[in-house]
Amino acid sequence: MDTIIRITIDGIECMASRGQYIVEAAKENGIYIPTLCNYPGVKPKGSCRICTVKVNGKLMTACTTPVSQGMQIENNTSELNELRKAIIELLLVEGNHFCPSCEKSGFCELQALAYRFKVMVPRFPYSFPLRKVDASHPKIIKDQNRCILCKRCIRAVKDDKGRSIFAYRRRSHRVEVGVDAKLGKLLTDELAQKAMDVCPVGSIIVKEKGFAVPIGERKYDNKPIGSDIENISVSKH
């Protein structure tokens, strides 16, 4: 049986199961902590830092930090929300995210977070990198312009033997995620759909299918991302 412990989030006393990650405990208590690289049921990686909270005064990623008895967590503060907003802006300027022409528009977590955090015009200059759209695989299109290197596809899309179908290739600032050269042929229709679904942005698109859900009726078109309806305090840039 799970051991129940007490934690506080923004001064609110919450119950949590020992060993649970902070994001999970917060969600069960109806408190929203934004995430991007994290995906339920997939081992957390802690790469995007959008879920950063303060634990007993120290900055920690909520998706990789397990709760402990008496933990005091700060989440919805203007300092942390400004940090999260800056991360979203940096991701937007680092790639080429042209939402109106993206099949994932309305389902895109980066876009939804940008709306939630009131990103108007990023305060950083756009870098407009030259990146490829790889349509060589028979089942999917991998658009490197939109990839945020969260590794969700690498961690979640695996063959029967538990091997990742997606992999990193190249190095340093040229690093990219693509279908593994050897295992790519094992990408079934189901796994291709899963890859598209776990991708938080529009970097993996299943071929020969589109607009099954019309624009305006998509996941985040009418309801903002997050489990609460609280307003967050961030400035407009």
Question: How many Å apart are CA 36 and CA 128, to the nearest integer?
Answer: 22
Give the one residue of 16, 26, 48, 140 binding ligand FES; rule: CB under 6 A. Answer: 48
The answer to the question of residue 46 lying near ligand FES (CB under 6 A) is: yes
Stretch that binds ligand FES, among 41-49, 123-131, 195-203, 222-230 (CB under 6 A): 41-49
> Within 13 Å of residue 77, how many CA atoms lie on the same side as its CB?
15
DSSP letter (8 states) at residue 211: -
* Pair 141, 134: CB distance under 8 Å: yes
The answer to the question of residue 205 lying near ligand FES (CB under 6 A) is: no
Give the one residue of 14, 22, 55, 63 binding ligand FES; rule: CB under 6 A. Answer: 63
Reduce the DSSP state of residue 196 to 3 states and report it.
helix
Measured CA to CA in angstroms, residue 183 lies from 92, 158, 236 at distances of 31, 9, 45
Whose Cβ is closer to ligand FES: residue 88's or residue 192's? 88
Reduce the DSSP state of residue 184 to 3 states and report it.
helix
Whose Cβ is closer to ligand FES: residue 60's or residue 186's? 60
Greatest alpha-carbon pair distance for the chain in Å reads 53
Give the list of residues 6+ apart from residue 227 with CB closer than 8 angstroms, or none.
27, 30, 31, 32
* Pair 170, 176: CB distance under 8 Å: yes
The answer to the question of residue 66 lying near ligand FES (CB under 6 A) is: no
The answer to the question of residue 75 lying near ligand FES (CB under 6 A) is: no
Give the one residue of 9, 16, 22, 36 binding ligand FES; rule: CB under 6 A. Answer: 36
DSSP letter (8 states) at residue 14: E
What's the min distance (Å) between Cβ of 126 and ligand FES?
A: 23
The answer to the question of residue 38 lying near ligand FES (CB under 6 A) is: yes
Whose Cβ is closer to ligand FES: residue 49's or residue 218's? 49
User: Which residues is 13 bridged to in the sheet?
Assistant: 8
Give the one residue of 22, 35, 151, 165 binding ligand FES; rule: CB under 6 A. Answer: 35
What's the min distance (Å) between Cβ of 177 and ligand FES?
A: 15
What's the min distance (Å) between Cβ of 3 and ligand FES?
A: 24
What's the min distance (Å) between Cβ of 36 and ligand FES?
A: 5
Pick from 167, 121, 161: nearest CA to 147:
167
Stretch that binds ligand FES, among 46-54, 65-73, 79-87, 140-148 (CB under 6 A): 46-54
Give the one residue of 49, 54, 137, 218 binding ligand FES; rule: CB under 6 A. Answer: 49
Give the list of residues 6+ apart from residue 211 with CB closer than 8 angstroms, or none.
103
Residues that bind ligand FES (CB under 6 A): 35-38, 46-51, 61, 63
